Amino acid sequence: MLPFSQKPHSKFSFFKLLFWVSQLLVLSSGFELDESLTYIWPLPSEFTSGNETLAVDPTLSLSVSGKGGDLKILREGFERYKKIIFKHVSGVSIFEKLRGITSVYDISELRIIVNSDSEELQLGVDESYTLFVAKNDGKSIVGGATIEANTVYGALRGLENVLHWHIIDEQSFPLEVPTYPNLWNGAYTKWERYTVEDASDIVSFAKMRGIHVMAEVDVPGHAESWGAGYPDLWPSSSCREPLDVSKNFTFDLISGILSDIRKIFPFELFHLGGDEVNTGCWTSTPHVKQWLNDRNMTAKDAYQYFVLKAQEMAISKGWTPVNWEETFNAFAANLNPQTVVHNWLGPGVCPNAVAKGFRCIFSNQGVWYLDHLDVPWDQVYNAEPLEGINNVSEQNLVLGGEVCMWDEVADTSNVQQTIWPRAAAAAERLWSKREAVSARNITLTALPRFLYFRCLLNRRGVQAAPVTNKYARQPPTGPGSCYEQ
């Protein structure tokens, strides 16, 4: 999950807009809300609130206007979130029965104004929005809430989001590539593959939710699985990666892959990997070693040659290349200036990259690798992507940050509780004003909201683990309220 924006998007004006179903669950747990806090996660750019609690009608209707009012993305998004929000509401709630309340709702209509009819989803798309719940003559609520946004993606949720799909690695090549049909022979099994249609469906599904998909084809390392279908890609049968730099076939095949999947992935950024490249196979395989000697190249030279050649291919197909930080550390002076440097090994890389004019993505593994189970939520929350970058023009070169989940240690049985709720801690760091999340006592200002948000995820069917775990994805250590675990 990759929010590429440091800029706060949302602005709220509301009167404690809470759903009765939320209050019902609070009552049954014995937990009492701190009325001095606003239970929103992540914090919006600006918000003002009154002192009344409003009930929202589960049959909430939609009214749209503006140039983008008829977009399918908007209407489907409304119906989708309506089902999620009112998932546990049916007829008269227990909350109403306990208090003898007749079903009279303050908010029965959501009015959405979208100023543009564009559905283009690229880096930097305007996703700002304003939510307004108005009072009428100081006594009653007007019966509706209004969201105004410049684009349909702002109207959806006002958060810029990217799925970085590391789709291929040394263990498995699961993606169908029509030009080179034997590549997916490297999948674990024939049942664990993505057809072109599968991948296209995932991208379309994401777009309907305002999510970019950035694919990664990691070269030249992490590519042993490629040779299951095309053994000539290996330097030798006993030394299988990195990909054979000495053969034109290697680069012809990479070009074919990029041409085929360009039809699937329209997002402007494309990840070419380039990390953890052990060049030992190149120097120990006779024909590759001879190729290096004939060109008076070292293994490091060949690594640079490979990365730059792959970058040229991606650029020729209309992509901006993203590479892991090893490429910057090894030959920054020769990288294509369009390169986006993806930090992961440790701190200090983004400050160095932006000082040289490169854009950067922050993913310091010490705090934002979610497969590191011993990293608690507060360390995730306190990690600052702009640390050490004081120049405003250089800060603008930091596209944002990414929390990474590698599936060597997770599958469908535990991936949700490994990711959540810690990923949400990074979300507020990235999406809220820097002043709002820095230099504060997060135990008082953030923890209560974070606990509440985790319980909200649980109610919506997301298997988010307890916030206070010593290790991620562990179950609760004992009985207690969801809002205190």
Buried b (16+ CB within 10 A) or exposed e, 445-460: ebbbbbbbbbbbbbbe
Give the pLDDT score at 441. Answer: 76
Beta strands in 100-180 (DSSP E): 107-114, 129-136, 140-149, 161-166
Tell me which of 268, 276, 394, 408 is the catalytic residue: 276
* Beta bridge partners of residue 56, listed in sequence order: 107
Give per-10-residue mean pLDDT for the chain (485 aa).
Answer: 42 32 35 70 73 74 75 78 71 50 67 76 72 55 65 61 93 98 98 98 90 95 98 97 98 98 96 97 98 98 99 98 98 98 95 98 96 94 94 95 91 94 93 70 86 91 92 88 87
Give the pLDDT score at 160. Answer: 52
Give the pLDDT score at 229. Answer: 98
Give the pLDDT score at 141. Answer: 43
CATH of domain 161-484: 3.20.20.80
Express the helix, strand and coil content of the chain in percent, nearest 5 each. Answer: 35, 15, 45
ω before 42 within 30° of 0 (cis)?
yes
> Where do the CATH 3.30.379.10 domains begin and end in the chain?
10-156
Question: What span, in angstroms and rounded, lies between the C-alpha atoms of 367 and 99?
Answer: 46
Beta strands in 218-335 (DSSP E): 269-271, 320-324
> Where do the CATH 3.20.20.80 domains begin and end in the chain?
161-484
Cα dihedral 241, 243, 249, 251, rounded to 10, equals 170
Give the pLDDT score at 78. Answer: 76
Is there a contact between 229 and 248 (Cβ–Cβ < 8 Å)?
Answer: no
Total number of residues shown for the chain: 485
CATH of domain 10-156: 3.30.379.10
Identify whether 428 is a catalytic site residue. no
